[in-house]
Amino acid sequence: MTEAAAQADVAAILAALGIAALVLAGLARVGARAGISPIPFYLVAGVALGSLGLVEIEGSVVEVGSEVGVVLLLFMLGLEYTSAELSSNLRAGLPSGVVDLALNFPPGLLVGLLLGWDLVAALLLGGVTYISSSGIIAKVLADLGRLGNRETPPLLSILVLEDLAMAVYLPLMAALLVGGTALETVGSLAIALCAAAAALMVALRYGKHLSRVVAHRSDEVVLLTTFGLILLVAGVADELQVSSAVGAFLVGVALSGPVAESARRLLGPLRDLFAATFFVFFGLGIALETIPAVLGLALVLAGVTALTKIASAWWAMARAGIGERGQARASASLVARGEFSIIIAALGVTAGSEADLGPLAAAYVLVLALAGPLLARYYRILLPVVRLLSRTRRPSPSVGP
Amino acid sequence: MVTQWHDMVEVTETQLPGVGVRHDFTTRAGERLGLIVHRSGPRDLLVYDRDDPDACSLVLRLEEDDSRTLADMLGASHVTEEIARLQSIAGLTIDWVPVTSASACTNCRLVDLGAAADRGATIVAVIRGDETIPAPAAEFVLQEGDTAVAVGTAEGVRHLFGLLQGSFDPLPDIP
């Protein structure tokens, strides 16, 4: 390639990225005005850009960006909760977490199996329907002034447990996707789980030391150290086939105190940038013409899993002694699915799993990322559902939130 | 969830993963009042709904300087309360009495204020500028601008107030 051609190439890439970023900025603006998550917009933008061929994605830049996006999403998730919060919630909220898993994982799994997918793809779809979007839900709770409500602590506890479940689920799926003989799979599974458990132990026990090493009065040093550490651990985890995302998640868990606060402040904008890249990239991989075929199924699955989510949240709220309206509010809030469902689906798409997984997950998230916040706002329509549930079974209310 | 006691008021502390800590208690009037301390600094002042005790009827966002202002205001009234409590110890009154130019007692010795002492009040300290003179001697000379700290019966302190302010009436309000 001549020098002039290379220069023209760089110019084209920069211009394309600029256009894409501006389109996303416009969409995020619309989303902010309407008070809805920008994730569905990013997905739609990705599908549209890919189908119209407006932005030629050469792979490299955007693909790496999207990979960094996943890693940063998980890192920030780990950062969100301190290790003390993780372990105390694990103890107190376990029954609610189990009910959440038992009601929301099977619908996806069953639909996958009914579609004739292989077991791994079906397990991925189970993950897609299981995990609520802590990003969307945290924002909705803050926007609607519900952070102080009594139903909020048990609700957050469910989200914490889902995120902990991800720490086991993601390396498990990563190992299963690699495939091989049964023996190889069991071997890589064992390695994956042991590595995740060991890393979690290290993060919980030696997090303080890590935080001390990272801490520095210069923001620049903290930014580069943290970013470097996340990518390094993610890379090593990926090499060990433990899933890069989980490595990043554990780095997040390990950081605590003032360092965690500055990391949140410094890496938050970076996360937003790369996460947007990730969602667009996921959308780019979906051809527009594949959507109509899965749209009906996505709607049914969304409807069913909205109901199972409502039921599991109601159970947890009733257990915590929350009143009817609080139960309805919490149930409605938990319906939203978002970033993590896409991350799970992306795992399968990258590994060349079932062709329909990507479009189905995209359409599913599109529906519930939009419906979730709306339902949270107009939770009153759920009051009859909650009353019906209360009549079927009345768990003995335990003390306080 | 942790319960603490502050002066007979039960304060509940609840962790909000990813957000911060929530404290709440029930006021004497029966309102449930709460405060979220966000990890990033700001506070949310919460008033729970009487009708739906799980929800808040009011959420007030306080940035860090707002919190300081409110705390100062609440703290100041708390100090006044403490003094009022001190003043109501079984018939004993304590007060700070400024010596004004109108007083007949400027440049007079404490021993000359005998009349007040007879009525049951004593000057236990004098504040002059930045200096505090505890237990001033009988020969101590009061000057304009001094503040006398008087302890005694309500009537005695009031009498002393009249002397040092230059009039016996109107009786000043005890703060």
Domain boundaries, chain B: 2-87, 93-165
B77-117 pLDDT, tens digit each? 555 565 666 556 666 777 777 887 777 677 777 777 765 55
Has residue A14 been placed in a domain? yes
pLDDT of residue B171: 43
For A381, the domain range is: 3-392
Has residue A397 been placed in a domain? no
Has residue A119 been placed in a domain? yes
Has residue A401 been placed in a domain? no
Question: What is the architecture of the domain spanning B93-165?
Answer: 2-Layer Sandwich (3.30)
Please confirm whether the linkage preceding B170 is cis (ω < 30° from 0). Answer: yes
Q: Which of A147, A327, A399 is the best substitution to test chain B (most B C-beta atoms within 10 A)?
A: A147
Residue with tokens 């890693």: A71
Instruction: Name the token pair of A359.
Output: 């479009």
A306-344 pLDDT, tens digit each? 999 999 999 999 998 898 999 999 999 999 998 899 999
Residue with tokens 């301390």: B37
Alpha-carbon distance of B136 to B144, in angstroms, equals 16
Whose CA is closest to A118, among A177, A175, A187, A171? A177
Note whether A87 contacts B: Cβ–Cβ < 8 A. no
A190-219 pLDDT, tens digit each? 877 787 777 777 777 777 777 787 878 888
Alpha-carbon distance of A264 to A258, in angstroms, equals 10
Radius of gyration of chain B (CA): 24
Cβ pairs A/B, distance under 8 A: 72
Q: Which of A144, A149, A164 is the best substitution to test chain B (most B C-beta atoms within 10 A)?
A: A149
Q: Do B18 and A401 touch (CB under 8 A)?
A: no
Q: How far apart are the first and last CA of chain A?
A: 65
pLDDT of residue B154: 77
Whether B170 shows a pLDDT value over 50: the answer reads no
**Closest CA in chain B for residue A81:** B18
Q: Do A400 and B12 touch (CB under 8 A)?
A: yes
Output the domain CATH number for residue A260. 1.20.1530.20
Q: Which helix (H) or strand (E) element contains residue B3?
A: strand B2-6
Would you give per-residue pLDDT tens digits along chain A (401 residues)? 456 666 667 787 788 778 888 888 998 888 888 777 788 888 888 888 877 766 555 556 778 888 899 899 889 888 877 777 777 777 888 999 999 999 999 999 999 999 999 999 999 999 999 999 988 898 889 888 899 999 999 999 999 899 888 888 888 888 888 776 777 778 777 877 787 777 777 777 777 777 787 878 888 888 999 999 999 988 988 887 777 887 888 888 788 777 888 888 899 889 988 888 888 888 888 888 888 889 999 999 999 999 999 999 999 999 988 989 999 999 999 999 988 999 999 888 888 878 889 999 999 998 999 899 889 999 999 998 888 888 876 555 444 44
Q: Do B44 and A401 touch (CB under 8 A)?
A: no
Alpha-carbon distance of A48 to A39, in angstroms, equals 14
Q: Based on the structure, what is the number of domains in chain A?
A: 1
Q: Which 8-state DSSP code applies to residue B49?
A: -
pLDDT of residue A364: 95
ipTM over 0.85: no
Listed in sequence order, the residues at least 6 apart from A281 whose beta carbon sits closer than 8 Å to its beta carbon are A46, A57, A62, A63, A65, A66, A69
Alpha-carbon distance of A281 to A61, in angstroms, equals 11
Alpha-carbon distance of B24 to B142, in angstroms, equals 51
Residues 228-287 of A with CB under 8 A from B: 261, 264
Note whether B62 contacts A: Cβ–Cβ < 8 A. no
Residues 147-166 of A with CB under 8 A from B: 147-153, 156-157, 159-160
pLDDT of residue B43: 93
Note whether A354 contacts B: Cβ–Cβ < 8 A. no
Order of strands across the sheet with B121-128? B93-98, B147-152, B121-128, B131-134
Q: Are B31 and B50 in contact (CB under 8 A)?
A: yes
Amino acid found at A174: A
Looking at the partner chain, which of A150, A160, A400 has a beta carbon nearest the beta carbon of B17?
Answer: A160
Looking at the partner chain, which of A85, A325, A326 has a beta carbon nearest the beta carbon of B17?
Answer: A85
Note whether A134 contacts B: Cβ–Cβ < 8 A. yes
Listed in sequence order, the residues at least 6 apart from B89 whose beta carbon sits closer than 8 Å to its beta carbon are none
Q: Which residue blocks in A285-380 are alpha helix, DSSP H? A: 291-319, 324-334, 339-350, 357-377
Q: Output helix, strand, coil percentages for chain A, rounded to the nearest 5.
A: 80, 0, 20
